[in-house]
Amino acid sequence: MTIDEKYKKRVLIADDDPVSRRVLEDVLAKWGYETITAADGLEALRILQNANAPRLAVLDWMMPGMGGPQVCQRMREHPDWPYVYFLLLIARNQKADLLRCVEFGVDDYLTKPFDSQELRDRLRVGQRILDLQESLAQAHEELRFRATHDLLTGIANRGVVLDALNREHSRQKREGGSFGIILLDLDHFKYVNDTRGHLCGDAVLREITRRIIASIRPYDTAGRYGGEQFLIVAPMSGELGTLAVAERIRTSIESLPVETESGPVAVTVSSGVAASQGESPLEPHALIHRADDALYRAKNRGRNRSELATQPQATLTPSQ
């Protein structure tokens, strides 16, 4: 998540001495910082736990209720919270306690009375550290996305959707119930690539992905299974419920041509639907095999249709 520039210029000042707080407020205001103040450690901790809390904090070492190091320690106990850069103000006779700062997770310190230029430099260092933290977080998120998503369509990749299938299988063995899968394949997609080009084919895949996601339930998982095939895992759904999801997807895709730079492209899809239900859960590979057989049957019966694996006669076809 990108740090808003205005949050980079916000500083929490926590000091039980009102004169010291006012001096810090005036100095930081001259440098363009927006300040929020607290009179003790407990108040500082409450402020820092808010969603839009400052990311820079200047805390006095000794305060009523909770000192600066303890505030830092409490915040560091939650690594999922946004990182706060802590600068502690200490008296000269407290230097022997500085080694404890490392244990508490404090970033830096200044002795009182502080030099204003040194304080400014330390805050600039803090801002650079926060920028680095943000860059690392963005890089980590990009790597995570690349590892879990199909880069062309943005949908979950094969590994993620198969993980969802395995999780549903494990849940069913523990708790019972049912779940279904849909193996979906674009009809005549090779013809689109051969006649319109691969850029057009890529545009079609992206739009089909968008319609699939818009048609499934919030707790379903859809992923690109390979090429022009998609796999959808439908938790807590039996054969007919999963078939209904497949039909919702099919009609959404059939209803409107896909607009591309080379003109509109009419697209249809065929689906094989299988469900694991009852007291004998199907293994994931067996479920996929049944869905694949049903998909093969849908293709042979004219395409643009959804077929049930276990009940071939329960078929929904396009309205004439």
Q: Tell me the fold of 158-308.
A: Alpha-Beta Plaits (3.30.70)
Contacts of 103 (CB under 8 A, 6+ apart): 73
CA separation for the pair 13, 25 (Å, rounded): 8
234: nearest Cα among 248, 251, 221? 221
CA separation for the pair 51, 159 (Å, rounded): 34
CA separation for the pair 9, 4 (Å, rounded): 9
Tens of pLDDT, residues 28-74: 999 999 999 999 999 999 999 988 899 999 999 889 889 999 999 99
Query: Which residue among 228, 239, 247, 307 is the active-site one?
Result: 228
Query: Would you kindly state where each structural domain of the chain is located, as residue ranges?
Result: 5-147, 158-308
pLDDT at 161: 97
Phi/psi for 98 (5° steps) reads -65, -30
For the entire predicted model, the pTM comes to 0.67
Phi/psi for 281 (5° steps) reads -60, 140
Neighbouring-strand partners of residue 307 = 272
C-alpha separations of 62 from 58, 101, 156 in Å: 12, 13, 51
Residue with tokens 């108040």: 43
pLDDT at 81: 87
208: nearest Cα among 222, 198, 219, 220? 222
Asked whether residue 223 carries a pLDDT value surpassing 80, the answer given is yes
- Reply yes or no on whether 228 is catalytic: yes
Residues of the chain with pLDDT > 70, as a percent, come to 92
Model confidence at 115, pLDDT cuts 50, 70, 90, reads: confident
Are 198 and 262 in contact by the 8 Å Cβ rule? The answer is: no
Are 316 and 247 in contact by the 8 Å Cβ rule? The answer is: yes
What does the pLDDT average to over 73-77?
A: 91
Long-range Cβ pairs for the range 293-298 (8 Å, 24+): 294/183, 295/183, 295/184, 295/185, 295/270, 295/271, 296/272, 297/272, 298/270, 298/271, 298/272
Query: Which of these ranges, 137-141, 173-177, 232-236, 310-314, has the smallest mean pLDDT?
Result: 310-314
Asked whether residue 86 carries a pLDDT value surpassing 70, the answer given is yes
Phi/psi for 52 (5° steps) reads -105, 35
Model confidence at 315, pLDDT cuts 50, 70, 90, reads: very low
Q: What CATH number should be reported for the domain whose range is 5-147? A: 3.40.50.2300
Tens of pLDDT, residues 264-283: 999 999 999 999 987 778 99
For strand 221-226 and strand 306-308, is the pairing parallel, antiparallel, or unpaired?
unpaired
Helix (H, G, I), strand (E, B) or coil at 171: helix
Contacts of 109 (CB under 8 A, 6+ apart): 87, 88, 89, 90, 98, 101
pLDDT at 312: 39
State the DSSP code for 115.
P
What does the pLDDT average to over 174-180?
A: 93
